[in-house]
Chain A
Amino acid sequence: GQNIDQPTEMTATEGAIVQINCTYQTSGFNGLFWYQQHAGEAPTFLSYNVLDGLEEKGRFSSFLSRSKGYSYLLLKELQMKDSASYLCAVGHGGATNKLIFGTGTLLAVQP
C-alpha cells in the first residue's frame, strides 16, 4: 500500500525556524518532492531529493533518509507569506513517475 504521513497543522513565529516532517511507505520510490500551496492556488515546486542528505535552497532546505522512509522540510527566517500548506509527495517510479501526495501540513506563521 501507499502511506505518506505529515502533521496536519503547525504554528510558528515570524523570524523563527520550523521543521515539517514527512514519513512514507510506498511500493515504489523515485524521489521525494516538497510543494507549497497557498489557499485557492495550485502547488508550487520547492525541492526534490532522490539521494540521502540535505539539499539547501535559500531559506528552504529539504532532507531525505531513504532507509528510514523519512524527509523533512526546514524553513528558516520565517515570513508571514510562508503561511501555506506544505505538501510532501513521493515519486512512484515507473514510466510515468506519478506523484503520490501526503495530506499536507498547514503552517500558520504568527507575528
Chain B
Amino acid sequence: GAVVSQHPSRVICKSGTSVKIECRSLDFQATTMFWYRQFPKQSLMLMATSNEGSKATYEQGVEKDKFLINHASLTLSTLTVTSAHPEDSSFYICSARKGAETQYFGPGTRLLVL
C-alpha cells in the first residue's frame, strides 16, 4: 500500500497564532515529501519540497520564514504556518513520494484563520 495521513484534518485559529500540520507516510518510508496549497476551484500549487535530514526547498514566492518545514524522520514531515492571517486560509495537502516517481497524497488539512 501507500497510505499518507495528515493531522489535523481541520483547524480554526485566530489571526497571529501559529498552526502545525503533520504529514505521515504510514506504510512506507519517504525521503521526500511535498507540501501543496489549494484555493477553492483551483489546482494544487507546490509550496515546498521537504527532504529528510536537510533543509526544505521552497518554490518561488513562498516565504520560508512563514511556512516552516521540518522533515524529522523518513515517515514524518511537519508544516508550521507562523503568524497566520486570514489570507492563509486554504486547503493544505502533503504528499509522499514512494519509489522514484509516484506521489501519494494525504487527505488534506483545511485551515481557517479568523
Contact = CB atoms under 8 A, between A and B. Distances in A.
Q: Do A and B bind each other?
A: yes
A43 interface: yes
B104 A99 contact: no
Interface string B28-69: 000010100000001111100101000001000000000000
Chain A: interface residue count, which band?
20 to 34
Nearest to B44: A101
B101 interface: yes
B99 to A, nearest CB: 10
A12 B49 CA distance: 37
B44 A96 contact: no
Contact of B43 (A40, A41, A96, A103): A103
Contact of A42 (B51, B100, B107): B107
A42 B32 contact: no
A96 B50 CA distance: 9
Chain A binding surface SS class: loop
Contacts of B46: 98-101
A45 B102 contact: yes
B29 to A, nearest CB: 16
Contacts of A42: 93, 105-108
B103 interface: yes
A104 to B, nearest CB: 5
Interface of A: 30-31, 33, 35, 40-45, 48, 50, 87, 91, 96-104
Interface of B: 2, 32, 34, 42-46, 49, 51, 57, 91, 93, 95, 97, 100-108, 110
